[in-house]
Amino acid sequence: MLDELKLDVAIVGAGPAGAWAAHALARQGARVTIFDPSHPREKPCGGGVTGRALAIVADAIPSTALDRSTIRSARFGDSIVPLDTDALSVASRAAFDAALLDAARRAGASVVAERVIEIHVDASGIALRTARGVHHARFLIGADGANGLVRRRLARAFRRDQLSIATGFYATGVTSDEIVVDFVADPPGYVWSFPRPDHLAIGICAQADGGFTSGELRGRTLEWISRTQVARGHTRLEPYSWPIPSLSAADLEAVDLAGPRWCLLGDAAGLVDPITREGIYFALRSAESIAAALGAADPAREFTARVFDTAIAELVRAARLKDRFFQPAFVRLLLRALRQSAGVRAVMADLIAGRQEYRSLKWRLLKTLEVGLAIDAAVTLKRVQREKYPSRALTRTPGRLTVTSIDRQPCSPPRAGA
């Protein structure tokens, strides 16, 4: 028998984006129903929650209530970057997402533990079908992840070149208070180990169209685990593989975010930093944006403008920097700078905590370096720039070096969809 319910806001997906939007909207008095059959569940993820992300949810999830590892340092090659205790926590996503969903329930949101299998939007509203019935709403929020149904039905699925694939293992029975990041040239990026309270989340990431299968990436991760002994003493290795949106700057500027009765949040909207792969913070920020925009005369336009200001502008800068960031010459320079300069280590600590924006990263780094490193940095940037983007070379103006890219290009707001 079909079960017909009248809802104000329906949210598909109870990850950080959906649960936090449900929490915020329910507190504002909206009638909110969130659909997700998966809880309690682990989600393939490092589980790194930056200080800025924890600050957003601090009132709803007291830090003492969340089982998490406080990270005290980050190891890059043979350099150790000390972190203050507010910089980064690592939590199991089963624990973190459950805490957010509990907060949404306490705020008054209803949770339907069913998968949404079809969506219909017309001028009269939204109809969502699950295996057990049809539900109606006035506004639909798609927070259902990178391959979500809402994006596929109301906008367009991400193309393969807009996704990266993250593959690795949970190493159970071992933990630490240090994250480990090891840069690799092929695929360009890094292998990581993030310690959760009772296991390590270890992984590697590559563009989905980059020519690497999950099996090959997993093999590289295994080889790294064995070579570095990072998981010494583990009891089991549990494999995982999951897509992460990794949009180019141009794709981010044109990404579909919303229409007259719907919007997309978090991974479903493509809001993940293409360098650090931090997505939880942007999921939470996009949830706040829809909570603030839903009462506006044109929620889609208002939401789009807010997401552009709070997420896309920063992600566009990261996307422009990404190719150069992972160039071997730049990585070598970065590792040397981390070894030699306390100032660079401080910048890296702020980057990890989400306190250092890309907007001012390059200039802060250049200001921090001593003369020798600064000259090397300028030369390396110039070489990488020439190799990668011959038309965007560094130009010299009298008395100073000017970089005519990365953070100088205007970002135009993405459009609200039809």
**Residue whose CB is less far from ligand FAD, 278 or 314:** 278
Cβ-proximal residue to ligand FAD, closest one? 279
Residue recorded with tokens 């009248």? 6
30 vs 352, beta carbon nearer ligand FAD: 352
189 lies in the binding site for ligand FAD (CB under 6 A): no
Token readout for 266 is 């978090």
Regarding beta strands 178-184 and 73-76, do their DSSP bridges make them parallel or antiparallel, or are they unpaired?
parallel
**Angstrom distances, CA of residue 35 to CA of 9, 115, 249, 257:** 11, 7, 32, 20
278 binds ligand FAD (CB under 6 A): yes
Q: Which is nearer to ligand FAD, 32 or 149 (CB)?
A: 149
| Best CA proximity match to 235, nearest among 173, 278, 283, 148 | 173
| Using rule CB under 6 A, residue 116 touches ligand FAD | yes
> Which of 21, 24, 26, 35 forms a contact with ligand FAD (CB under 6 A)?
35
Q: Which of 76, 96, 139, 242 binds ligand FAD (CB under 6 A)?
A: 242
Minimum CB distance to ligand FAD smaller for 251 or for 267: 267
- Count of residues that bind ligand FAD according to CB under 6 A: 39
Which of positions 15-34 make contact with ligand FAD (CB under 6 A)? 15-18
Q: Is residue 311 involved in binding ligand FAD (CB under 6 A)?
A: no
Q: Which is nearer to ligand FAD, 53 or 337 (CB)?
A: 53
Say how many C-beta atoms besides its own lie within 10 A of residue 271's C-beta.
Answer: 28
Q: Which of 59, 66, 57 is nearest to 19 (CA)?
A: 57
Q: Does 225 bind ligand FAD (CB under 6 A)?
A: no
- Under the binding rule (CB under 6 A), the answer on residue 38 touching ligand FAD is yes
Q: Does 142 bind ligand FAD (CB under 6 A)?
A: no
Query: Rounded to an integer, what distance in angstroms lies between the CA atom of residue 397 and that of residue 232?
Result: 53
**Among the listed residues 187, 189, 195, 266, the single contact to ligand FAD using CB under 6 A:** 266
Q: Does 137 bind ligand FAD (CB under 6 A)?
A: no
**Is residue 302 part of the contact set for ligand FAD (CB under 6 A)?**
no
**What is the distance between the alpha carbons of residues 300 and 312, in angstroms, rounded to a whole number?**
15
Contact region with ligand FAD (CB under 6 A), list: 262-270, 309-317, 321-329, 343-351: 262-270
DSSP H or E segment with residue 116: strand 116-122
Let me know: does 175 contact 194? Beta carbons within 8 Å. Answer: no
Q: Which string of DSSP letters, residue by residue, matches 118-177?
A: EEEEETTEEEEEETTEEEEESEEEE---TT-HHHHHHS-PPPGGGEEEEEEEEEET---S
Does residue number 274 form part of the binding site for ligand FAD (CB under 6 A)? no
Per CB under 6 A, does 148 bind ligand FAD? yes
Please tell me the distance from the alpha carbon of residue 114 to that of residue 12, in angstroms, as a whole number.
Answer: 10
- Check binding of 358 to ligand FAD (CB under 6 A): no
DSSP result, 325-377: HTSHHHHHHHHHHHHH-HHHHHHHHHHHHT-S-GGGHHHHHHHHS-HHHHHHH
Closer Cβ to ligand FAD, 116 or 337, answer by number: 116
What are the residues binding ligand FAD (CB under 6 A)?
12-18, 35-36, 38, 43-48, 115-116, 143-145, 148-149, 166, 194, 203, 242, 244, 265-268, 272, 277-281, 283
